[in-house]
Amino acid sequence: MLKNPTPNQIAVFTSLLVTILSTLFLFVFSLFSRFPIHFMLYICWAVVIFSVTYLVTVYYLERYIYRKIKVIYKTIRDERLQSHEKNTSIDINRNIIDDVEREVTEWAANQRREIDKYKSWAEYRRQFMGDISHELKTPIFNIQGYLHTLLDGGLQDEDINVSFLQKAAKNVERLNTIVDDLEAIARLESEELILEMQTFDIKKLTDEVFEDMEMKANVRNIKLEFKEGAAQSYKVRADRESVRQVLMNLVSNSIKYGNPDGRTKLSFYDMDRYILIEVADNGIGISKEHLKHIFDRFYRVDKHRSRDQGGSGLGLAIVKHIVEAHNQTIHVRSTPNVGSTFGFTLEKA
C-alpha cells in the first residue's frame, strides 16, 4: 500500500482491484457455464472494467476532494477567488492532501504569530498608557499644588511666592519635555522622519556637543574629553542634526549618572565601512537585570534620581529609534559602580 497516494494512484489501485475481482468472477462463472469464454473476451472485459472504474473513481475523487478543499480554503484564504479561478479541476497527479495539509499548517503558524504579536502590542499599549499617565501625573500634581497654595494666600507671602512660581515653571518645562519627546517618538515610529543625509566630521560635531554640555558638566565637575588614541577625525554619512541629538542624549546621561568629579570619554573606532562611536562614563553603572530594558520608553533604573534630573524617560528610546532609522546598531556595556559605555555605529563616508 502506498503511504501518501495521489488521487491518480488511488484510482489506479481501485480500478486494478475491481478489474481483478470482476475478471475472477467472470472466470468462475465460465467454469459452470455451458458456453466457454474466449481469452480475448477476458482482455476486453478487463479493459472496459478498468477504464470505467478508473474514470468513475477519478470523477468522484475530484468532486469529493474539491468540495473538502474548497471549504478549507474558504477558511484560510484572506481573499475571495477570482471568477477565472473558480473551477472544479484538480491535478490528480499531485499529492493534493499533503499540499493542503502543508498550507493549513503554515496558515495556523501565521495565525499564532499574528495572535502573539497582537497580544504583545496590546500589552505594550497597556503598559505605555500606564507609564505616560504616571509620568504626566507627577508634574501636573506638583503644578496644581503650587498654584493652589499661591491662590489660597501664598501669593502675598514673600517667603514662598517666588519659590513656588519657580517650582511650578520647572514642572511646566518637564511637561513640555515629555510632550516634545513623545512627538519625536511618534514621528520616528510612524517613519515620518525624513533623514537629511550628508557628509560631516563626527569629531567636529562632538566638539560642538561638548561645548553645549560644558556648563551642565561643570555643575558636577565632570570632565568631557576624548579617549587617548581614539580621537581621530572621521567623515561619516548621516543626518547631522539627528546624530547631534543622539550625542546630546548620551553625553547628558553620562553627566546625570556619572560620579561627581568624574569624567565622560568619547572615542571613535574605524570598523572598515563603519565608524563606532562610544560614550563612556565612570558613574553608578547599570545592573544586569536593567540592561535589556534600558532602551524601553519611560524605563528608569533609578526612578527618583531620574525625575529629580528632569528627564522625560524617553531619551534612550529616541536614541535607539534614530540609530535604527540609519540602519545602524546601538549597544550598552555596564558594570555597577564602575560605569557605562554606550556605543553606536554610523556609515563611513
> Is beta strand 235-239 parallel, antiparallel or unpaired with respect to 339-348?
antiparallel
Same domain, 169 and 213: no
Pick from 164, 171, 170: nearest CA to 135: 171
Instruction: Answer yes or no: do 286 and 331 share one domain.
Output: yes
Q: Is residue 116 part of a domain?
A: no
Task: Identify whether residues 208 and 183 lie together within a single domain.
Answer: no
Is the same domain home to 316 and 275? yes
- Mean pLDDT value across residues 61-90: 58
Identify whether residues 173 and 247 lie together within a single domain: no
Q: Are residues 219 and 164 in the same domain?
A: no
Q: Where residue 134 sits, what CATH number does that domain have?
A: 1.10.287.130
Q: How far is CA 35 from CA 26, 44, 48, in A?
A: 12, 17, 21
The CA distance from 302 to 287, in Å, is: 11
Q: Per residue, what are the HEC states of 155-183? A: HHCCCCHHHHHHHHHHHHHHHHHHHHHHH
Q: Three-class SS of residue 326?
A: coil
Is there a domain that residue 118 lies in? no
User: Mean pLDDT across the stretch 219-247?
Assistant: 91
Q: Are 224 and 328 within one domain?
A: yes
User: Is residue 110 one of the residues assigned to a domain?
Assistant: no
Cβ-contact 348, 275 below 8 angstroms? yes
Helix, strand or coil, per DSSP, at residue 129:
helix
DSSP for residue 85: G
Instruction: Kindly report which listed range (41-45, 121-125, 166-170, 300-304) carries the lowest average pLDDT score.
Output: 300-304
Round the average pLDDT of the chain to a whole number and report it.
80
User: Considering the domain boundaries, does residue 207 fall inside one?
Assistant: yes
Indicate whether 235 belongs to any domain. yes
Residue 84 sits at φ, ψ, to 5 deg, of -75, -10
In this structure, the answer to whether residues 203 and 339 fall within a common structural domain is yes
- Together in a domain, 149 and 261: no
What is the maximal distance between C-alpha atoms in the chain? Answer: 135
- List, for residues 287-342, the tens digit of each pLDDT value: 888 888 888 776 666 555 455 555 567 788 888 988 988 999 999 999 888 899 99
Task: Tell me the residue range of the domain where 70 lies.
Answer: 7-94
What is the mean pLDDT of the segment spanning 219-246?
91
Residue given cell 473558480 in the structure block: 86
Number of domains within the chain: 3
332 vs 278: CA distance, rounded Å: 9
Alpha helices in 190-299 (DSSP H): 202-219, 240-256, 288-291
Q: Which of 94, 116, 141 is the last residue of a domain?
A: 94
- Residue 293: give its domain's CATH number: 3.30.565.10
> How far is 205 from 201, CA to CA, in rounded Å?
6
Q: Is residue 105 part of a domain?
A: no
> Which among 306, 337, 338, 332 is positioned nearest to 319, based on CA atoms?
332
Percent of the chain with pLDDT over 90: 23
Of 189, 205, 239, the residue at which a domain comes to its end is 189
**Do 83 and 24 fall into the same domain?**
yes
Is-contact 345 246, C-beta < 8 A?
Answer: no
Residue 101 included in any domain: no
**Any domain includes 99:** no
Point out which residues pair with 339 in neighbouring strands.
335
Per-residue pLDDT tens over the stretch 144-163? 888 888 888 888 888 888 88
Calpha distance 229→65 (Å, rounded)? 73
Among candidate residues 331, 330, 326, 333, the one with its CA nearest the CA of residue 348: 326
Most confident of 58-62, 258-262, 303-307: 258-262
Rounded Cα distance, 297 and 301, in Å: 12
From 141, 165, 189, the end of a domain falls on: 189
Question: Is residue 297 within 8 Å of 184, Cβ to Cβ?
Answer: no
Are 204 and 337 contained in the same domain? yes
Q: Which of 22-36, 80-94, 134-148, 219-233 has the highest mean pLDDT?
A: 219-233
Question: Looking at the structure, do residues 307 and 238 belong to the same domain, yes or no?
Answer: yes
* 222: its cell numbers: 565632570
